[in-house]
Structure 1
Amino acid sequence: MRPNALGTTIAGLVAVAGLAAGSVATAGTSFAATAPTAQTATAAQAAALAGTQNFGLTTAEAKNVQEFLADYWGYTGAIDGQLGTNSWKAFQRCLAKYWGYTGDIDGDPGPNTIKALQRLLKADYGYTGDIDGIAGSGTRAAFKRFAA
């Protein structure tokens, strides 16, 4: 009977070890499942930030710009301090009317938008650099004065 008892004990230990391993494997899987969710959330945040271009403005300064755009240029989005596509579309309408912007009203603050912005900033906000379409430090400093 001893060999049978030993066999039963070994079989029981193997079963317990298998259950424990399964629990550990399941626990590892449950923890691993949260990683893609965290990565997805991080990717979504990065995409949202990529769509925002404040050119060095603080949130409060960007809100000032959005309020100006809402008052005069048809901006209807949230006053959230994030200059995204809709903010830039409204700004492009302003730049097209007064500052020589001739591109599409697409919300992309690319070089042509920046050139028109630089013309505005040169006229009234102390920008002294070239009209080059690059939002360098001089453009950013003048944009901050505009947004104040």
Structure 2
Amino acid sequence: MRVEIKMAEYCGYTGAFDGLPGIESWKAAQGGLMEYWDCPGPIDGIVGPDTIKALQRFLAERHGYTGTIDGIAGPETEAAFARAVETLPPL
């Protein structure tokens, strides 16, 4: 839920604050990634390889991701994302 609150603050998220990564969550994430980390394609809430590549670029720049930027959400991507979530300030 902290992620959704921060996405509302920074990326225009308007969905439910339920802690579940749904289409509205990914649309907001894609909007932020498109603006700052070269996420091409539509803001459609579908998590494809372009969205994952943009997420990996963000994680590499801000959260120590050292894996390949390949559009595959493997263990290294998941671990870096978990670190990124941990760095969110408390509510």
Answer yes or no: same fold by TM over 0.5.
yes
Deviation at 1:81, TM superposition (A): 0.7
Matching residue's letter, 2:11? W
Matching residue's letter, 2:28? A
- 2: distance between equivalents of 1:81 and 1:101? 23
> Does residue 57 of structure 2 align to residue 127 of structure 1?
no
1:147 aligned partner: 85
Larger radius of gyration between Structure 1 and Structure 2: 1
- 1: distance between equivalents of 2:68 and 2:36? 18
Matching residue's letter, 2:37? W
- In the alignment, structure 2 segments of 5+ residues that lack a partner are 87-91
Q: How does 1:1-148 map to 2 (within 5 A)?
A: 63-148=1-86
Matching residue's letter, 2:51? T
Query: What is the RMSD computed on CA atoms of the aligned residues?
Result: 0.7
- 2: distance between equivalents of 1:147 and 1:133? 20
- 2: distance between equivalents of 1:68 and 1:111? 23
Scaled by the length of structure 1, the TM-score of the pair is 0.57
SS at structure 2 position matched to 1:89:
helix
- 2: distance between equivalents of 1:121 and 1:98? 12
More helix per residue: 1
- 2: distance between equivalents of 1:123 and 1:72? 18
Number of aligned positions between the proteins? 86
- 2: distance between equivalents of 1:115 and 1:122? 10
SS at structure 2 position matched to 1:101:
coil
Spell out, residue by residue over 1:91-119, the C-alpha distance to the aligned partner (whole angstroms, 9 max, x if none): 00000000010110000111100000000
